[in-house]
A and B are shown apart, each in its own frame.
Chain A
Amino acid sequence: MKSLVVKDIKKTFRLSKKQRKIEQTDETKKVALRGVSFEAQPGEIFGLLGPNGAGKTTALRCIATLIKPDQGDITVDGFSAIKASSEVRKRIAFLTNEMKLEDHFTPNYLFRYFSRLHNISDEVSEMRKQALFKRFGIDKFQEVKVSDLSTGMKQKISIAISLVHDPDYIIFDEPTNGLDVLTARTVTDYLLEMRAEGKTVILSTHILNVVEKLCDRVGIIIDGEMKALDSLENVQNIASDQTLETLFFDLVKESAVEEHA
């Protein structure tokens, strides 16, 4: 049963003194997710939209098994992210801005290293490496240390390495953040190719243009709650002027009023 199902996940973080200071709050806990549910099917790009701090990254980290939800579950191809995390990790690619590659190594070495960790034979790894490196224009830099490469090139290497095992589920958190127009285009084009290949792509972003261009279905998450969840077209129809931007701002405003009340 090929699908990724997020079912009623809740997550609360205990805030450290440092975090309380940064967030200027006396609260010792922060509720990041308040029962979020959604599904993503093969051959679709699901966009998770929301302002900064809404809980998008937390939801994706739960799916990626980096953190565990306090309540609810996530299943990938029927495997629970809590009980069978290793099986889930075999099936997903996960990329977030907080994840970095070790600067000291070359893209070539890192690709081989992560291939081995994914139990991929050297022959298959080499073939995939050549294809991905060529696709992202890394082939010329494959023996250059990551530390000597530009931000855009590092991001492309991160994407290529996250795909070493040819996963069916691609979960990218703000993949075009900080990239120039050309590099961003390479990334978005690749995601469209992945969809065409029947992969499931979950994309978190706050760039509405990217969502409108790429996503088949959209979930808008604000303050840890899923405020809207439907196809892009249906979500756009909710807004008075039928734009995602208007709906997004309305929902953010509405949420702020509720919080204030």
Chain B
Amino acid sequence: MRNIFTVFRKEMYRVLSDMRLVLMIFLLPGISIFAMYWLIGTLIQNQTEAVQQHTIIVYEENMPADIRSSLEGLVDLERPVNMEFHSIDTLEDSDLKEKVREGDIDVVLRFDADFEAKISNYDQAEAPSLFIIYNYGRQNSSFGYNQISSVLNQYQSMKLMERLEDPSHAQIFVTDYADDIVDERQMTGQGFAMLLPFLIVIFLFAGAMSIGPDSIAGEKERNTIATLLITPIKRSEIAIGKISSLALLSFISALSSFVGLAFSLPKLMQMDTNGVEYNIYEPIHFVLILFTLMATVLIIVGLIAVISAYAKTIKEASMLIMPFYLVTMIIGLLSSFGTEPSGQLIVHFIPIYGSVNFLSSIFVFQYDFANFVAVIVSSVVYTSLFIYLLTRLFSSEKVMFQK
């Protein structure tokens, strides 16, 4: 135990006494995650505001007065929509299409002559037509069309009601929704479940990847491993000391990313100044999350340590780890963006996937303690397996010394 602690302490000291490493592993992930997501949020916000502030250029022909007045009334909404109307005059469809394509015009509305008259005489004449040109490839045009479309739908409903002698006959049935079904906590939790387990597992892996290869493959590459192997310390003690120190360092690194994410989340999710409701969770949830993360980081670090011990150089180790990183990303995606978290016990024995699935189930308040035990027990088993493999690799002269 004393030897394990000695190796553990030396690995911690190696990182913590190097300001560049401290910056790179603990501060940079948090700062870069915050900066990246904050920037994305700001850009989305700016883009949305730019579209909303844009004056929609509408070219029209024979537009009924009611529709025109409804569209002009959009300027009085809480989020005003400005429209500028122009007459089509002599412009041909081909010219109009070209201008819409170029973004000079947002929407073209060509109503039939006597549009309203035809609507009124619906039992004697054909339904009037409306020809629309807009470009869904352009945000301003698409936004303008959506606004106009909702006004047209309202106009259509209004005209339909006018056709009936008693407007109340237009109502076929009344729909009433139960309003006490939605659990606000669960709804907020679903948002977290979609994003966080995936990101957390990626952060853990990235943190472990940034220090693991240097700690083991680096020692081989720099020829310092033999100096350690010549001491009476057991190979298993070296393995446990390395894995436990790497796990703690990776955990702190992931925590830094997580803090960056927590601060940038309100901006990213375009929430108001109240921010994201983190207080929907109780202490027990945080304890479960903490233990699940610790179990997951041990598996990830164990895997990276074994690959690093097998590799001859840091470069080779990083190259060999990359496919596992991609697989982990896919596992995270499957679990986060797939169906609801699985409650099946067997799923929680699958390394990493089980952890991500359990994290999702905590976030949506659908967890089961048996599954938690499965995650912890399986992680201990997998980590023990990795420690055994790492011990074997440290004992293998071919792996340790062959160039």
Contact = CB atoms under 8 A, between A and B. Distances in A.
Interface in B290-334: none
A109 B224 contact: no
Contacts of A117: 3, 6-7, 228, 231-233
Interface string B185-225: 00000000000000000000000000000000001001110
Contacts of A113: 6, 10
Interface in A182-239: none
Nearest to A13: B402
Contacts of B7: 117
B401 interface: yes
A86 B234 contact: yes
Given A98-B223, A102-B224, A104-B18, A64 B230 contact: yes
Contacts of A67: 397, 401
Contacts, number: 73
Given A99-B227, A102-B14, A109-B13, A86 B402 contact: no
A116 B237 CA distance: 13
Nearest to A114: B231
B370 interface: no
- Sorting the interface of chain A by its residue count into under 10, 10 to 19, 20 to 34 or 35 or more gives 35 or more
Contacts of A98: 223, 226
B240 to A, nearest CB: 14
A101 B231 contact: no
Nearest to A90: B232
A150 to B, nearest CB: 18
A118 B226 contact: no
A156 interface: no
Given A16-B402, A19-B403, A117-B6, A104 B14 contact: yes
A100 B223 contact: yes
A100 B227 contact: yes
A23 to B, nearest CB: 12
6 contacts: A66-B401, A90-B232, A96-B226, A99-B224, A114-B227, A116-B6
Please give me the 3 A-B residue pairs with the lowest Cβ-Cβ distance, nearest first: A117-B231, A67-B397, A116-B6
Given A86-B232, A99-B230, A103-B222, 4 more contacts: A68-B397, A113-B6, A117-B232, A117-B233
